[in-house]
Amino acid sequence: MPVELTLHKAAEELRRGDLANVLRARQRLAGLVGTYPHRLDLRSRLAEVYRVLGDLPQAGRWDYLGESPDPVEIVAFERAYRTPTMRLEALGWSGNLDDAPTDTARAKLTELHREARVQLQRELDATPREETSWLACLLVVLGGTVVVVCFLLGLVTVATFLWKLVT
């Protein structure tokens, strides 16, 4: 279905206002955003549907890259998705940052990527660096050797049994 026809149907369902139609409009718009993640107008319309549903974190999520998102919705989105990596994943942005259609969206995505890099570096720095002992490595190699030997002995036993059975 063409984008404009889908948008028209979603707007019509949203105008009807009952829960079933609003949920259908949400489903249509979510599909469009998944197909065209760089179109901020689709994200904005999806945010509108979530406002009707009273879901502030999702409204903030889908209007996050817009020119003038509601600060209350942005705070709700940031509370629901506490880390920059979670926010990046929730935004569902694919492709390069240069694909963002506006300077505002590009700036927000760039800042979010920078924050995510800092977060990941902090997590890496906090990870203990334990070296594996040579004894543990030796035990793993010996265990693997025992398994291989047992497997080969089993194959020889089965082959011998089958040979005696045939002859």
User: By three-state DSSP, how is residue 141 classified?
Assistant: helix
55-72 per-position pLDDT tens digit:
999 999 999 999 999 999
Q: Is the pLDDT of residue 1 over 80?
A: no
Domain CATH for 35: 1.25.40
What's the mean pLDDT in 96-114? Answer: 91
Asked whether residue 158 is assigned to any structural domain, the reply reads: no
Cα distance between the two ends of the chain: 70
Reply yes or no on whether the pLDDT at 131 is more than 90: no
Token pair listed for 140: 């793993």
pLDDT for residue 43: 95
Q: Which segment of 71-75, 84-88, 118-122, 126-130 scores lowest on mean pLDDT?
A: 126-130
Query: CA dist 69 to 110, 153, 160, 161, Å?
Result: 17, 70, 77, 77
Range of the structural domain that residue 62 is part of: 3-124
